[in-house]
Amino acid sequence: MKQATLLWLLLLALTTLTTQAATLSAAAGLTGSAVPLVLLAALIKGRVVIDRFMVLQHVDGPWRWIVLGWLLLVLGLIGYAFNLNPT
């Protein structure tokens, strides 16, 4: 099996995991409890896409770090938004 197929299956499994975790936590009335798991899975999925599918794992210079920094910034802001207290 090709590496791209295995990575695609990994992305599919992580998507299924996060969907089920969010569904189960919502059904149990624990809104927001799956957020860390979902953000961690999104970080792993983003890293796979950046490194393998965008082929930036061997790129020198700032391009890889700009894309990875953007991913971390977005995930950090989403995590921060879920921790804000509603007023």
For 6, what's the count of Cα atoms within 13 Å in the CB-facing half-sphere? 4
Q: What is the mean pLDDT of residues 59-81?
A: 91
How many C-beta neighbours within 10 Å does residue 4 have?
A: 10
Number of domains forming the structure of the chain: 1
Q: Has this prediction a pTM greater than 0.75?
A: yes
Q: Which residues contact 53 (CB under 8 A, 6 or more apart)?
A: 4, 7
Q: Which two tokens stand for residue 84?
A: 């804000």
- For residue 84, pLDDT over 90 is answered with no
Q: How much is the pLDDT for 86?
A: 64
Give the range of the structural domain holding residue 37, as residue numbers without chain letter.
3-83
The pLDDT value recorded for residue 64 is 86
Report, as an integer, the average pLDDT of 34-40: 89
